[in-house]
Amino acid sequence: MSENSTMTANGAHHEHEHENHSVFGFWLYLMSDCVIFGCLFASYAVLHGQFFGAPTFKELLHAGDIEFSTVAYETALLLLSSLTFGFAMLSAHKGNRSGTLLWMVVSAVLGAGFLGLEIKEFMHLISKGATPESCAHWSAFFTLVGTHGLHVTIGLIWMIVLMIQVATKGVGSHMMPRLTCLSLFWHFLDIIWICVFSFVYLLSML
């Protein structure tokens, strides 16, 4: 084997090793995020139902101030954005820059739609007296759901940055670790939201 071939093989090996280390490190970060959300879910479980004179979840639901359809739309938008980002990753693996960008834009728009509906819901709840300061229940609710929303916001900013990088640098091997980490993060947010939807909204409606 020639010296050039050996150097090329070593370079590819080190690049692949760096990619694996980056993704593994990000998995560790996600595990720490799981601990954070686990604590928030536990806090919500303890404080659930402690309204102390503030508007209750069922009162707002029966009055139409909490609409299940809105929460369902939020869920559909986030799940669809995860699916479309999967299509973006498939395009990236094929080296298709335009396809990757297209699906990332669609994912970002869907994610922004989810965030917009969530902010609208928060503002409406606050206008009805269900504020983080009103009681323990709503404090735990806004902390849990708001932390997830903050993660979605960070994910959208990250996605925009990577879209700019894909547009300028293409979707070579140097971009794959970054896209893979974002993909893991975005799918992770889907899983957390399903838990929020089931544990916070569905159980409160029973």
CATH number for the domain harbouring residue 165: 1.20.120.80
What is the tens place of the pLDDT at every residue in 49-62? 899 889 998 888 88
Under the banding of pLDDT at 50, 70 and 90, the label for residue 20 is low
Arithmetic mean of pLDDT, 177-181: 93
Tell me which of 11-25, 48-62, 110-124, 192-206 is least confident: 11-25
Instruction: Report if residue 61 sits inside a domain.
Output: yes
**What is the percent of the chain where pLDDT is above 90?**
73
Arithmetic mean of pLDDT, 5-9: 41
Distance of CA 171 to the CA centre of its chain: 22
Spatial neighbors of 110 by CB under 8 A, at least 6 apart, are: 77, 78, 80, 81, 84
What is the tens place of the pLDDT at every residue in 50-93? 998 899 988 888 877 778 889 999 999 999 999 999 999 999 99
Mean predicted lDDT score pLDDT of the chain: 89
How many Cα atoms are found within 13 Å in the side-chain-facing hemisphere of 132?
Answer: 8
Spatial neighbors of 181 by CB under 8 A, at least 6 apart, are: 22, 23, 26
Instruction: Report if residue 5 sits inside a domain.
Output: no
Going by C-alpha positions, the residue among 78, 73, 79, 71 that lies closest to residue 199 is: 71
DSSP string, 47-68: HTT--TTSPPHHHHHHTTSS-H
Instruction: Report if residue 119 sits inside a domain.
Output: yes
Under the banding of pLDDT at 50, 70 and 90, the label for residue 22 is confident
What is the tens place of the pLDDT at every residue in 108-156? 999 999 999 999 999 999 999 999 999 999 999 999 999 999 999 999 9
Q: Is 22 helix (H, G, I), strand (E, B) or coil?
A: helix
Q: Model-level pTM? A: 0.87
Instruction: Report if residue 18 sits inside a domain.
Output: no
Question: How far, in Å, CA of 137 to CA of 131, rounded?
Answer: 10
Flag whether pLDDT at 183 surpasses 90: yes
Instruction: Report if residue 130 sits inside a domain.
Output: yes
Q: What is the residue range of 185's domain?
A: 30-205
pLDDT on residue 123: 94
Flag whether pLDDT at 28 surpasses 70: yes
Q: What is the 3-state secondary structure (H, E, C) of 96-134?
A: CHHHHHHHHHHHHHHHHHHHHHHHHHHHHHHHCCCCCCC
Instruction: Report if residue 69 sits inside a domain.
Output: yes
pLDDT on residue 12: 46
Number of domains into which the chain is organized: 1
